[in-house]
Amino acid sequence: MFPRPIEQSAPAVQWIYKIALPVALVLWLLPLLGVAATSVRPASDLAQGNYFGIPSYLAFENYADVFRNTPMARYILNSFIVTIPTVIGAVALSLMTGFALAVYRFKGNLILFFMFVAGNFVPFQILMVPVRDLTLSLGMYNSYHGLALFHIAFQTGFCTLFMRNFIKALPNELIEAARVEGVAEWRIFWFIVLPLMRPAIAALSVLVFTFIWNDFFWATVLTSSPDAQPITAGLSSLNGQWVAAWHLVSAGSILAALPPVLMFFLMQKHFIAGLTLGAVK
């Protein structure tokens, strides 16, 4: 079935296309456009209160100054050091737990699955104090591995739900045929299930990468110095009590948004395939 031309649609649909859609697009892009405009506004304009007017000139040097005058390179490196192991750990762990919950029948399977699902509905804010105290007692406060381990723990519930549902949708005849042939369980997982899960792995990796890279809450709770702070916490520290370098914060925000966007476009084909897998028969 091909889409109907907009000219042949009902007047209400044409109104949505001609008015509502552009307005929604502008409202959605307005914050990004504001940040982009501030990122090339000179510091002198901001000091004079010229926040929304025409800038005196386009200060593209703000993007260089954010690296020269702030630990931006260190913040970006910290984000990669925390995000990449988190993605690998959360996806690998959820693959195994999702396989066990989807393939094997045992007492308490459904209850255990509901526990993973219920964990997604616990507000992270109520865990702030006990998690921070736990990191302090374990000596993991303000460290890469402490932040990464807690991210893996908090992402495992959602990732397990995601993987379990994808594995559950795979043809069970493939696994049963392999068992009849005497194939070991770990070989079934590695050589049969895992190759079929590549679109799901790609989709989940993009989602988890974006979640962790953009995380601000745990970055500020579990880190306190530029040696371990990721990009989100680092950007908030660029503003002092008396000085607000909004031009540098805006330039850093644009740079911080590039890795998730690039990863999405690089994995776009697999990401869409993973999200739509099983949508049609």
pLDDT at position 28 = 82
pLDDT at position 9 = 58
**Which range has highest mean pLDDT (30-34, 80-84, 108-112, 266-270)?**
80-84
Measured distance CA(277)–CA(255) in Å, rounded = 32
Say which range, 22-26, 65-69, 76-80, 109-113, has the weakest mean pLDDT: 22-26
pLDDT at position 281 = 46
pLDDT tens for each residue of 116-146: 888 888 888 888 999 999 999 999 999 999 9
pLDDT reading at 176 higher than 50: yes
pLDDT tens for each residue of 205-234: 999 999 999 999 999 999 988 899 999 998
Measured distance CA(244)–CA(46) in Å, rounded = 9
Closest among 95, 49, 75, 81 to 194, alpha carbons compared: 95
Range 74-90 average pLDDT: 95
Query: 90-119: string of b/e by CB count within 10 Å (b at 16+)?
Result: bbebbbebbbbbbbeeeeeeeeebeebeee
The average confidence (pLDDT) of the chain is 86
pLDDT reading at 1 higher than 50: no
pLDDT at position 13 = 62
Alpha-helix runs per DSSP H in the chain? 11-15, 21-39, 43-47, 62-68, 72-103, 109-119, 128-138, 144-168, 172-180, 185-188, 194-196, 198-213, 217-222, 231-236, 246-266, 268-276
Confidence of residue 256 (pLDDT cuts 50, 70, 90): very high
Give, for 230, the enclosing helix (H) or strand (E). Answer: none
Kindly tell me the sign of the dihedral angle through the C-alpha atoms of 154, 157, 160, 165: negative
pLDDT at position 32 = 86
pLDDT at position 99 = 93
Measured distance CA(182)–CA(4) in Å, rounded = 53
pLDDT at position 12 = 61
Closest among 189, 210, 229, 251 to 35, alpha carbons compared: 251
Both tokens assigned to 9 = 């649609």
What's the pTM value of the predicted model, to 2 decimals?
A: 0.85
pLDDT reading at 2 higher than 50: no
Which domains, from first to last, does the chain contain? 6-65 (no CATH), 70-275 (1.10.3720.10)
Alpha-carbon separation of residue 54 from 9, 51, 78, 178 (angstroms): 41, 9, 36, 68
pLDDT at position 210 = 93
Measured distance CA(198)–CA(192) in Å, rounded = 11
pLDDT reading at 162 higher than 60: yes
